[in-house]
């Protein structure tokens, strides 16, 4: 037998029998209950373009933002926030159905892998090292170097995808033929681009300087400390446990829409949970452009929260105009984005002003200092 054939056999066993597959589908039922029809955004958004996404981590840690319910948009940057916050449940809401599909694929990989190197090899179509268990405590840089110097194995990747899709199917979320084609395309993009994968837009030129996947994995906070979910085996295992326990639930929904956010609010109240943190990226900018911001603010107001619950947002220093210079936070040198944090109490007070609120007001009222010594202003 060839080495590739043996590896393929190992993958089929590895992904189909080593981790539990849920015999019932309460997971799928919750996805359906909370979701609404999907919308459009001009990006696959397989990876983030926020170079600053970890800059809020010391403040989350210092403020003791733990447990409760986490809400977030987008792909895997959420996992790093989850590794720090350790919520009871994470609801990942995004207007694109494709984001839900991507998270189903991530879920299957988390369930199938025992450690970081196995997860990364499943994602990027590389054979895991023979002694994969011994890689658990190696630095992230060694794992990334292994991926960079290990060629993609197309037969292995195809077998891996087939086995992962069998697991995804058993989650019970209905998948159309188009969904399955999309999932194959996404997985192929990770495997072919490897750690050089970058954020791209449809119909818009790529902005120079978008970070690679390698850059995002290796990112740090403002004091050069790593916080990625892959920065340590312990952080990875926290997210893996949540995936295996069906505590990361992807939802199709518009933050300003009439169904998903209200359904989430009702579910959290029903289960006695409050929001600890909500990550919205720069979605609020688009909601202002669409005239939908006040509907979003009403949806946030309906969520069960405490004054110390926080909203984490990103700003790229664009998307708004002012008549004169303003102290609105700008990205630091070397970064495309700036990460900001605001308490729910501040957000709800600000948005009570209604139509007089503008997008720069949100940025100016991001009232949590991101320095490690940060303390809440309330």
Query: Mean pLDDT, to the nearest integer, of 177-198?
Result: 96
Residue 273 belongs to domain spanning: 3-200+211-364
pLDDT band (50, 70, 90) for residue 174: very high
1-15, 69-83, 326-340: range with highest mean pLDDT: 69-83
**Does residue 127 lie within any of the structural domains?**
yes
Q: Is residue 345 part of a domain?
A: yes
pTM score:
0.89
**For range 7-27, the mean pLDDT:** 50
Whether 205 maps to a domain, the answer reads: no
| Number of structural domains found in the chain | 1
Please give the Cα distance from 166 to 170 (Å, whole number). Answer: 7
- Whether 371 is covered by a domain: the verdict is no
Helix or strand or coil: residue 210?
coil
**Interhelix angle for 97-112 vs 3-17, to 10°?**
100
Output the pLDDT for position 325. 46
Domain membership of residue 184 (yes or no) is yes
Cα–Cα distance measured from residue 238 to residue 332, given in angstroms and rounded to the nearest whole number: 31
pLDDT digits (tens, 9 = 90+) for 327-353: 678 888 888 889 999 999 999 999 998
**Residue-level length of the chain:** 378
294 domain residue, yes or no: yes
Task: Find residue 125's DSSP bridge partners.
Answer: none
Q: Would 206 be classed as within a structural domain?
A: no
What is the C-alpha to C-alpha distance for residues 321 and 358, in angstroms, rounded to an integer?
A: 10
Residue 317 forms part of a structural domain? yes
């Amino acid at each position: 037998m060839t080495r590739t054939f043996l590896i393929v056999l190992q993958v089929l066993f590895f992904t189909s029998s080593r981790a539990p597959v849920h015999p019932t589908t309460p997971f799928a039922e919750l996805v359906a209950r909370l979701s609404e029809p999907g919308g459009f955004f001009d990006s696959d958004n397989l990876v983030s373009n926020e170079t600053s996404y970890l800059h809020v981590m010391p403040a989350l840690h210092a403020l003791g933002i733990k447990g409760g319910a986490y809400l977030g948009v987008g792909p895997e940057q959420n996992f790093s926030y989850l590794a720090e916050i350790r919520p009871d449940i994470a609801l990942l809401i995004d207007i694109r159905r494709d984001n839900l599909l991507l998270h189903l694929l991530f879920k299957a990989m988390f369930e199938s892998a025992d450690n970081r190197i196995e997860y990364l090899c499943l994602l990027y179509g590389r054979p895991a090292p023979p002694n994969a268990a011994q890689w658990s405590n190696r630095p992230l840089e060694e794992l990334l170097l292994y991926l960079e110097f290990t060629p993609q194995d197309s037969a292995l990747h195809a077998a891996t995808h087939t086995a992962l899709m069998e697991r995804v199917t058993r989650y019970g979320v209905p998948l159309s033929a188009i969904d399955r084609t999309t999932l194959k395309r996404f997985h192929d993009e990770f495997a072919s681009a490897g750690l050089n994968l970058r954020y791209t837009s449809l119909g818009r030129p790529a902005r120079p300087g978008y970070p690679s996947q390698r850059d995002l994995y290796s990112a740090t906070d403002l004091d050069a400390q790593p916080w990625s979910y892959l920065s340590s085996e312990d952080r990875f295992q926290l997210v893996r446990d949540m995936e295996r326990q069906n505590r990361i639930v992807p939802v199709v929904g518009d933050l300003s829409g009439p169904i998903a956010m209200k359904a989430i609010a009702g579910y959290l109240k029903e289960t006695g949970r409050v929001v600890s943190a909500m990550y919205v990226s720069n979605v609020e900018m688009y909601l202002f452009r669409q005239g939908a911001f006040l509907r979003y603010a009403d949806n946030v107001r309906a969520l069960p929260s405490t004054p110390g619950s926080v909203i984490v947002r990103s700003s790229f220093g664009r998307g708004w105009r002012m008549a004169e210079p303003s102290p609105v936070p700008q990205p630091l040198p070397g970064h495309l984005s700036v990460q900001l944090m605001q308490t729910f109490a501040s957000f709800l007070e600000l948005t009570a002003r209604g139509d007089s609120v503008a997008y720069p007001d949100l940025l100016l009222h991001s009232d949590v200092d991101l320095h490690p010594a940060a303390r809440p202003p309330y």
